[in-house]
Amino acid sequence: MYIRLMQVADVTQILEIEQQVQFHPWTARQFRDSLDSYQCTVLELDEQVAGFCIMQPVLDEANLLLMAIAPQQQGKGLGFQLLQDAIERLGEKCVQIFLEVRESNQAAIALYEKAGFHQIDMRKHYYPAPNGKKEHAVIMVNMLQAENFSFNVV
């Protein structure tokens, strides 16, 4: 297993994974454009991309925009390793990371909780669902450097 920065040459393999796991997959152009603005990493197994993670750093925060592991590689702890690597790459200046996830994606929610995220809100009827209805988005945060915050109660 090897985790590295994403390259344009990875987009074809990333698209294959994305189309297998997302209801509304990103396009090749979106992935290529993300290389210029975001922190994009891939996880390789046997010289094949098995997962990817895209973080959007904004000042001292970040948003986890997209993360996926190839279906045949899920359940092996690779997502946790990829997420931990992406968090470490953000560096010490990042104090919190936000994400949103489909309420029904319990495997992802468990992964995020294991990585230190917790639910702070919910967006009702946010994601389109295959049955034509809308699904809630769970909003989560990881307060990476919570010990650096002090609150004055008056």
Instruction: Write phi, then psi, for 123 (nearest 5 degrees).
Output: -100, 115
- Of 16, 38, 92, 100, the catalytic one is 100
Neighbouring C-alpha atoms within 13 Å toward the C-beta of 146:
6
- Of 44, 88, 103, 112, the catalytic one is 112
To the query of whether residue 100 is one of the catalytic residues in this protein, the response is yes
Question: How far apart, in Å, do the first and last CA atoms of the chain sit?
Answer: 51
Q: How many Å apart are CA 79 and CA 51, to the nearest integer? A: 8
3-class SS string, 56-103: EEECCEEEEEEEEECHHHCCCCHHHHHHHHHHHHHCCCCCEEEEEEEC
Q: How many Å apart are CA 103 and CA 122, to the nearest integer? A: 9
Cα–Cα nearest to 42, from 76, 21, 59, 17: 17
Q: Which residues are catalytic?
A: 100, 112
